[in-house]
């Protein structure tokens, strides 16, 4: 996957009729979509400049949850090429600092029980109690396999990258965060 500039990302957002906030978080879902691998990218953009990233992440559920979803309707796959305005806030994910879902999001429910994260059916609303959060994988080293790190969350593979992202969010003095998930172009 190529590395994007802030200008390329923001131009793509404008093409998709999204707003471009002064501080925002952006995920880019890989076209390759390798099962159970952190093959997506995550950026922090402030005042038209990439200030964090690209960080390797996943925007897909891991094989564990694709094969055995927590929800009977299927594993959650956040709808891409969509913007989630002020849908995340600082909080805890399983007792660890994270950005947690605080508003409705849109997801596909992948229910065909294979190892490929797919946009199946029509998108459905995932309320805040679904907890599609932005968090890190392992706290000590960079994770290579998604596994149980994501049932639909946006997960950063490297704990140092995640800490930098969280530091930038804290430094922004924002209470809520906008996340734009784009498909690789």
Tens place of pLDDT for every residue, the chain, 185 residues? Answer: 999 999 999 999 999 999 999 999 999 999 998 999 999 999 999 999 999 999 999 999 999 999 999 999 999 999 999 999 999 999 999 999 999 999 999 999 999 999 999 999 999 999 999 999 999 999 999 999 999 999 999 999 999 999 999 999 999 999 999 999 999 99
- Residue 155 CA to residue 42 CA, distance in Å, equals 9
- Residue spans of the domains in the chain: they are 6-183
DSSP label at 65? H
Q: 3-class DSSP state for residue 142?
A: coil
Q: Which of 184, 159, 12, 178 is nearest to 83 (CA)?
A: 178
Question: What CATH number labels 6-183?
Answer: 2.40.440
Token couple for 12: 């793509």
Report pTM: 0.96
């Amino acid at each position: 996957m190529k590395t994007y500039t802030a200008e390329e990302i923001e131009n793509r957002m404008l093409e998709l009729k999204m707003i471009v906030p002064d501080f925002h978080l952006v995920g880019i879902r890989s076209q390759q979509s390798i099962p159970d691998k952190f093959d997506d990218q995550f950026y922090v953009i402030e005042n038209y400049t990439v200030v964090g990233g690209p960080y390797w992440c996943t925007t897909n559920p891991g094989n564990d949850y694709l094969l055995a979803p927590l929800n009977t309707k299927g594993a959650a796959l956040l709808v891409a090429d969509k913007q989630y305005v002020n849908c995340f806030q600082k909080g805890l994910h399983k007792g660890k600092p994270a950005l947690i879902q605080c508003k409705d999001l849109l997801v596909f429910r992948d229910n065909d029980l294979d190892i490929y994260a797919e946009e199946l059916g029509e998108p459905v609303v995932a309320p805040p109690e679904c907890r599609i959060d932005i968090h890190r994988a392992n706290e000590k080293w960079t994770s290579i396999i998604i596994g149980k790190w994501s049932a639909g969350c946006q997960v950063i593979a490297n704990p140092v990258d995640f800490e930098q992202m969280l530091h930038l969010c804290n430094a922004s003095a924002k209470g809520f965060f906008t996340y734009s998930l784009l498909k690789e172009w």
